[in-house]
A and B are shown apart, each in its own frame.
Chain A
Amino acid sequence: MKHLNGRMAAVFLFGLAVLFLAAVTAAGWGFEEEALVTDFSRKNLEPCGQYLFGTDWLGRDMFIRTLTGLSMSIRIGLLAAGVSSVLALILGTLAATMGKTVDGVITWLIDLVMGIPHILLLILISYALGKGFKGVVIGVALTHWTSLARVIRGEVLQLKEALFIRTAQKLGATKFEIVWKHMLPHLFPQFLVGLILTFPHAILHEASITFLGFGLPPEQPAIGIILSESMKYLAMGRWWLALFPGLLLVFTVVLFDVAGESLRRLLDPGSAHR
């Protein structure tokens, strides 16, 4: 029964984390219009019963703005991290399985992308694609796949020589079966960890290029914009402008970590007992 309890706890944690993230994302989406409403009769209010997170210098409700911002950041982060992880999985596997020439080209590409400072490449790509949502997502995705691709390439190279894979081949498994049934399940935890580690990076990089003016336009209240705008008002004692959005951002990142960790435990039969 102990075994079942461990798995149940993991399922529960995973469900909880996903539920919260989904709720925030959905709620933020719904509030997008209201987040832009300004009302000068209620500006610079401290947190109170009606405005949980207070209001800013334009009288905008910070609770709604934070929700919308988080939602936007989660969507960008998920999309960018997802695209870049899938890219890493495909390129890493190709490098390890398609022979020397392909390996050489992909390894060279990895070194090239790694050699250029992230933020520079990110700004270039985002600017070339006309900034905005599309520019940020593609920019973050194209700059964050390299280290995971390297890990996956190494992993596949090792797996190829593993005796259980060689034995599966001797037992007549097709190439597709080898990759699908025997390799991918082993790569999945690595993939998941990579995805989770890319997520905070994606949000932070989104925030930084937005801050520099090459990312999202100011009317799209991503968490990065909220934070950078609040910086100016911190010195004037309006602590609530940065504190709550910042805390929620940290909470979101932690939740992603919890979701990933519990999912890893579910997928790894060896750790099922713990």
Chain B
Amino acid sequence: MVLEAKNISFQYGRDTKQILENFSLRMESHERVGIVAPSGFGKTTFCKILSGYEKPDGGEVLLDGKPLSSYGRYCPVQMIWQHPEQVVNPRLRMREVLKQGDEIEEYIVEGLGIEEDWKNRFPAEISGGEMQRFCIARALGRRTRFLLADEISTMLDLITQSQIWSFLIGEVERREIGLLAVSHSMPLLESVCTRIIDLEHL
């Protein structure tokens, strides 16, 4: 499958800085694309537009030539956020959070190092890193075709980072899920991605 962003322009309200201007990107399922840029370049905003959280002021997002809204309730482009605590309902136990995903298989849960007793806890009772693993697992549902990873490993220690990234790379490669990784860390992207776009030196 092909995920395309055509001539995207975006700004948050009038009289604010134009964040994205005529930005285009085309990526295929077998690719792992990295976007690197310093803070404030609109990396997160671009991810939000790609997965349909924000509507662009100009341009369009197409998956295999069709808009995302034509793919039914489950969005095939899933996003993993930098701050997992914002995207998890604080009143659900982690077991329920996991069930929100589209038939998450057990090997994914195990591969990400999620421990059985974390599942009975509420989000307030686990750490950010533990919660992030649930969010990654939740995004790896059956119908996911593209995965947008927005600074997903900033709260993880180095060993956990490499464990999670190597699982993630194996998984997207096997299932031919397109991966878009966003970071300000060039070394991380170089070890993860097949193609890197530097927004600062475009």
Q: Are B89 and A168 in touch, CB under 8 angstroms?
A: yes
Give CA–CA (A167, B75) in the complex, Å.
10
Query: Which B residues are CB-close (under 8 A) to A100?
Result: none
Chain B, residues 84-128, CB within 8 Å of chain A (1/0): the string is 001111111000000011100000000000000000001111000
Q: How far is the CA of A164 from the CA of B78 in the complex (A)?
A: 13
CB-defined interface of A160-194 with B at 8 Å, one 1/0 digit per residue? 00011111111111100000011001100000000
Name the distance in Å between A168's Cβ and chain B's nearest Cβ. 6
Q: How far is the CB of B83 from chain A (nearest CB, A)?
A: 9
A99: which B residues are within 8 A, CB to CB? none
A-side contacts of B74, CB under 8 Å:
170-172
Chain B contacts of A174 at CB under 8 A? Answer: 73
Cβ A171 vs Cβ B102 within 8 A: yes
In the complex, residue of chain B having the shortest beta-carbon distance to the beta carbon of A271: B124
> Interface code B52-87, partner A: CB below 8 Å = 1, 0 otherwise?
110000000000000000001111001101000011
Chain B residues whose CB sits within 8 angstroms of the CB of A169 once the complex forms: 73
- Distance to closest chain B CB from A2 (angstroms): 13
Tally A residues with Cβ within 8 Å of B. 19
Contact between chains at B122 and A269 (CB < 8 Å): yes
Q: Which residues of B contact A115 (CB under 8 A)?
A: none
Q: Is the interface of B mostly helix, strand, loop or mixed?
A: loop
Q: Quick check: is B51 within 8 A (CB to CB) of the other chain?
A: yes
Total number of B residues with any Cβ neighbor in A under 8 Å: 26
Q: Which A residue's beta carbon lies closest to that of B74?
A: A172
Cβ A164 vs Cβ B86 within 8 A: yes
A106 to B89, CA, bound (A): 29
CB of A49 closer than 8 Å to a CB of B: no
Q: How far is the CA of A172 from the CA of B78 in the complex (A)?
A: 11
Q: Which of A165, A166, A172, A182 lies at the interface centre, i.e. has the most chain B CB atoms within 10 A of its CB?
A: A172
| CB atoms of B73 and A172 under 8 A apart | yes
Nearest opposing residue in chain B for A182, CB measure: B89
CB within 8 Å for A172 and B102 given contacts A185-B91, A269-B90: yes
Q: Is the CB of B75 within 8 A of A170?
A: yes
Binding site for A on B (CB under 8 A): 51-53, 72-75, 78-79, 81, 86-92, 100-102, 122-125, 138, 141
Complex A-B, nearest 5 residue pairs according to Cβ-Cβ distance, in ascending order: A172-B74, A269-B122, A167-B87, A170-B75, A172-B73
